[in-house]
Structure 1
Amino acid sequence: MRTFFTAMIIAAAASSATVAVAAEARLSDTQFIKVAQCRTLPGADGEKFTALYKANKRGRADHVVDKADAAKRDAERGGADMAAKLAQECAVIVP
């Protein structure tokens, strides 16, 4: 019986650690908005940020998603200067 309780405590501790790791992987609102801008990068970089955006969109407040979408639109309209700036900034963001 004692082994059963020990196993249950270990299983509970392991699941708590898994939840903590999953919580740490979630982007902050500011990072989420920046990732939305980074989605405009061409090629594999843009795809990588699109996947990160989709993974973090669920459960996000509507006003934050709206800001992220507006930031993406602004980045698309920014031209070559904005693309060069984003390429540098986005290289630092990837968690």
Structure 2
Amino acid sequence: MILQTNDHVTFIKSIIRNASEEGRCVNEIESEEIANSLKAMLQECDDLENCMVTANQNTIKYESLIMKLNELMNCISEYPWVLDTAIDGIGELIVKVNQKAHL
């Protein structure tokens, strides 16, 4: 199933909310689903970055990429236990994208 970034964020939050309401931790299957959603969000960002470079850094695609990266960072920051190590990688990607935009 292909979801957009907002759908991924909603999906991840619903998994966490359901577990919390049931008074339990996220189980292994749910953790894998969260990780898959985060990976898909990263892939969306990567795809947008490739389009941006190919399209000579089209402003609309650049802004969309930054928005998706920020949404992803907010999601990971809100739930750091999900994928702690991704925060540094995403931060580096934001720096990389910003550097490319200023070329």
TM-score class, shorter: 0.3 to 0.5
Q: Whose RCO is larger (CA < 8 A, sep 6+)?
A: 1
Q: What's the TM-score once normalised by structure 1's chain length? A: 0.36
Which has the larger helix fraction?
1
Larger radius of gyration: 1
